[in-house]
Amino acid sequence: MDTTGLRSAARIDDRSPPGVALDRWWRVCATGFCFLSFGVGGTLLSFTMFPLLRLAAGSSTNARPLIRRALRASFRFFIGMMRMVGVLTYEVRNGDRLLAPGQLIVANHPTLLDIVFLLSLIPDATCVVKRGLWRNPFLRWPVAWAGYIPNSECESLVADSAATLRNGHSLVMFPEGSRTTPGQPMALKRGAAQVALASGAPVLPVTISCVPLSLTKTNPWYRVPSRPMHYTITAHPVLAATHCDRRLRAPVAARRLTRELAGLLAPESRPSSL
């Protein structure tokens, strides 16, 4: 661990009252504890609960909903733990919109915990995850058993994603591809729009905000903000099916839908940090 970073994270302004410094130190330790628990807990579950569920289910098709439910419960537990130790608070707006099956859920991706939040809120959800996870000895089996989809640049990603949606499962995608680079304009890839067009699934835009912004691509976990992070997860109305205009050629339709999504997912005038 980078101890200089740790020290600077907890570095205190001479004028700040001792309570503030203590609170910050507490959150550095609590955040570390939570991430450690995530790693250790995840590894343990990968060798115990997940293989047992997989065996009990018999076929891989039967196993998928069970594994997803177990993952959802684990993520819910993790978020609950982070809230309990005082690292974060959160609110979900129009959360009932997330419950309908077979939706393509597209969200902006400011922080490390976005997918944990979304998978804890959406039943029977799958997601597109980094291909690298399939080489991780601890995570490869759970992600494969849950039917998560490895990202790639080719057509198979679109075909696999569309098939999952047509089977009535919800799918989470971050059209940005990876976390937003702070201070830079949001850039969307067209993959999510292509999946929407190929599947004809309802598209549900979700915006995620974290104030003060932390756990970004450029901000290490131990550099905790001045006060606990507050997450707001907002489910917007399902997109009107204008993008399904069959008279439009696929490449044009994908470009238009991507532009529409960019407008919907762009962060409003949020304070970047405090």
Partner 1 sequence: MMIDAEQTILDQVRGVLARLFEIDPARIEPSSKLYEDLDIDSLDAIDLMIELKELTGRKVRPEQFKHVRTVGDVVTAVRKLVQDEDAA
Instruction: Give the footprint of partner 1 on this chain (CB under 8 A).
Output: 153-155, 158, 189-190, 194, 249-252, 254-255
Query: How far apart are CB 160 and partner 1 at their closest, in Å?
Result: 14
> What pairing do the DSSP bridges indicate for beta strands 203-211 and 149-150?
unpaired
Residue with tokens 């101890």: 3
Cβ nearer to partner 1, comparing 154 with 274:
154
Q: Please report, for residues 37, 119, 128, 132, the alpha-carbon distance to residue 78 in angstroms, rounded to integers and kept in the order given.
A: 9, 11, 21, 23
Q: Please report, for residues 1, 138, 209, 218, 262, the alpha-carbon distance to residue 114 in angstroms, rounded to integers and kept in the order given.
A: 24, 21, 9, 15, 18
Cβ nearer to partner 1, comparing 156 with 218:
156
> What pairing do the DSSP bridges indicate for beta strands 149-150 and 125-129?
parallel
Cβ nearer to partner 1, comparing 259 with 270:
259
Cβ nearer to partner 1, comparing 69 with 189:
189
Query: How far apart are CB 267 and partner 1 at their closest, in Å?
Result: 23
Angstrom distance (rounded) from CA 215 to CA 179: 10
Query: How far apart are CB 206 and partner 1 at their closest, in Å?
Result: 24
Query: How far apart are CB 249 and partner 1 at their closest, in Å?
Result: 6
